[in-house]
Amino acid sequence: MTLSLGLFAGIIFFVYSVYFIKIIKGTPEDFEGEILESLAEWMISKGSASKGQMWILLLLSVLLEVAYFTLVFYGINNLTIIVFTLFFAVIEMYHLAMLSHSLNRFFKGKIVIKKIFNWKLERLSAMLFFTHSLLILLLLIFF
């Protein structure tokens, strides 16, 4: 279990490090613009199939987050990290609920693609994932 948690945390750490650095430097907008542009191009290329695929991606995100948080709860015996993880999990539930709501509104034609993401919430989520995974890695390595 510890190895799985370490691998999971390491992957999360590296995936979010680019976005985290851009946020810390104060320049996340260019990166976010690239994400939106890529998403729009992908949706155009996939056509109507993109709707189902977007919902599948969201479901996979939920499942991966549940797996990560479960590994933390079972693999870490540190009250501070457990409390931080609970706090983070609640924020992520809110984040994914808001994203689901936005996707639903987008696919109903009520909002445009650039309104799908709440970038402040996306940044908070990215910073929390980066920080949490770093703490987990440090805890696993040194304790």
Task: Express each pLDDT in 10-29 by its tens digit.
Answer: 999 999 999 999 999 999 99
Q: What is the count of structural domains for the chain?
A: 1
Q: What is the pLDDT of residues 40-81, one digit of tens each?
A: 999 999 999 999 999 999 999 999 999 999 999 999 999 999
Count of C-beta atoms within a 10 Å radius of residue 24:
11
**Hey, what are 141's tokens?**
């390595």
As a whole number, mean pLDDT of residues 125-136 equals: 98
What domain range is 93 assigned to?
Answer: 2-142
Count of C-beta atoms within a 10 Å radius of residue 95:
19
Position 99, amino acid: L
- Report whether pLDDT(143) > 90: no
Q: What is the pLDDT of residues 72-113, one digit of tens each?
A: 999 999 999 999 999 999 999 999 999 999 999 999 999 999
- Residue 138: predicted pLDDT: 97
**Hey, what are 39's tokens?**
């998403």
As a whole number, mean pLDDT of residues 115-142 equals: 97
Position 9, amino acid: A
- Residue 84: predicted pLDDT: 98
